[in-house]
Amino acid sequence: MDAENIMRIEPLKAPLDGAATVPGDKSISHRAVLFSAMAEGTSRLTGVLDSADVRSSIDVVTALGAKVNLEVGVDGSLSGGITGWGAEGPKQPDHPLDCGNSGTTARLLMGVVAPWPIKVEITGDESLKKRPMRRVIAPLMKMGVHFEPEAQENLPITEIGNPNLKAITYDAPMASAQLKTAVLLAGLGAEGETRVNEPALSRNHTELMLPEFGVDATSAYRSAMVQGPATLKASEIDVPGDPSSAAFLICAALLKRGSSIQVENVSLNAGRIGFVRTLERMGASIEVRHMGQEGREAYGIIEATYTPRLTGCEIPKQHIASVIDEIPVLALVAAHAHGRTVFRQGSELTKKESNRLDAIIEGLGLLGVDAWCENDDLFIDGQPNLVVPQGLTFDSRKDHRLAMTWSLVGLCGNTPVNIVDFDSVKVSFPQLLESFERLAEVGGTKRVESCFILDSMPLNRQNTLVAQCVHR
């Protein structure tokens, strides 16, 4: 094992306190970049997540002819303009389009390319090449898109667009915002109504954003529609903070004694804050405050306070899609809770950047927590007084959600832990550790101040109060 790929995570020296922001929402950032590239004119974007995944989307639209002028701001986000190809369509790229580790880029790209007479090879890194693509390829083929090889399940694959696509109504076999978006984007080049029906709710960022670009798109319960043909018009998009990133700060505050934080300017899209509802059911001290709308996306504040007693709960299959990206960190919280937590029908976890289902079971096993899978249901028996064993090394499997989850073991626990390939956090939350350090600095300052006040008190009283200060 390469020592250079191992990060040592030390316990925080103070509770988390104060306010924080998180990087721009990854799902919204991808769509803002891709839709701007498709649009007529120059779109203005702010708050775009600067991460490896979003950079993959920027790279592919640049290769297809969009003019991207995004710069890194003082807050680390990307802002600027993207001039799209509009009615002229994307140009024929002169090389394969490498999507890196970004499944969102690869799957949405298939819908972007679908209505145009170009031939594109889509590929990615070794991890992405293992992830399922047939779920997107199948409905696009029904619309008239050609793929080589025709029966291919994984990348690399060559897509041949078709300017004469057929509008369809597609009953998706699973709830997948990426599948839904790819079909809807292809439908923009077809005559008539293209509709996707889903067995459960998935993220609706696409349906909310397309009207901002002048597209006739509607969303109903488990159903979304676009009317084609349509050309997108330039827009202005301000990307709110990513709730999936916020979840790690929130869960850390719940687990770290004495903590109380608020995460500001975070997306409160109903399909994205399922983790909040799950934590509420576990008895967490957590609150959501709506602050406004950016376009059609709600944003606001999520507050969380250390909660000494958490209780296990059941997350039914119809709610899994709304928490799918947060299940690793929710599983860690469940490991500290009283009783059993069950995530129903979590098979989609096996098709992420890694097999997260196996990784969760393996990681919790290192902590001495019983976790197992039965018929795609994940079971976790919590240990309320969990003490982290010394000398643990967690394998992130180069998966950003796992790297962030296992980092909380070290940050909120009693002993350092090691994480292999921690750098994978750059996919969605490059400043994760810095955010924790800032919140702990505030918490540490407040502890010092409260102890300083005790200096003027009588000695016999001071000794008692100092002990309370140190141990609270």
Q: Supply the residues annotated as catalytic.
A: 325
Chain-centroid distance, C-alpha 339: 28
Asked whether 156 and 121 are in contact (CB, 8 A), the reply is: yes
Q: 376: how many CB neighbours lie within 10 A of its CB? A: 16
CA angle (402, 407, 411) in 5-degree steps? 155
Which residues sit opposite 196 in a β-bridge?
170, 224
Q: Is 129 helix (H, G, I), strand (E, B) or coil?
A: helix
CA distances from 445 to 15, 451, 452 (A): 10, 10, 10
Which residues sit opposite 417 in a β-bridge?
9
Q: Is 188 helix (H, G, I), strand (E, B) or coil?
A: coil
Helices and strands of the chain, counted as H and E runs: 14, 23
Q: Rounded to an integer, what distance in angstroms lies between the CA atom of residue 357 and that of residue 345?
A: 11
Q: Tell me the residue ranges of DSSP E strands in 213-369.
A: 217-220, 223-228, 236-238, 260-267, 285-294, 297-305, 314-315, 340-343
CA angle (246, 251, 255) in 5-degree steps? 150
Q: Rounded to an integer, what distance in angstroms lies between the CA atom of residue 185 and that of residue 228?
A: 10
* Helix ranges, 97-191 (H): 103-113, 134-143, 177-187
Asked whether 324 and 372 are in contact (CB, 8 A), the reply is: no
Q: Rounded to an integer, what distance in angstroms lies between the CA atom of residue 435 and that of residue 433?
A: 5
CA distances from 393 to 9, 91, 137, 401, 429 (A): 10, 47, 39, 16, 21
Pairing of strands 377-381, 340-343: antiparallel
Asked whether 180 and 196 are in contact (CB, 8 A), the reply is: yes
**Torsion sign over Cα 132, 318, 49, 75:** negative
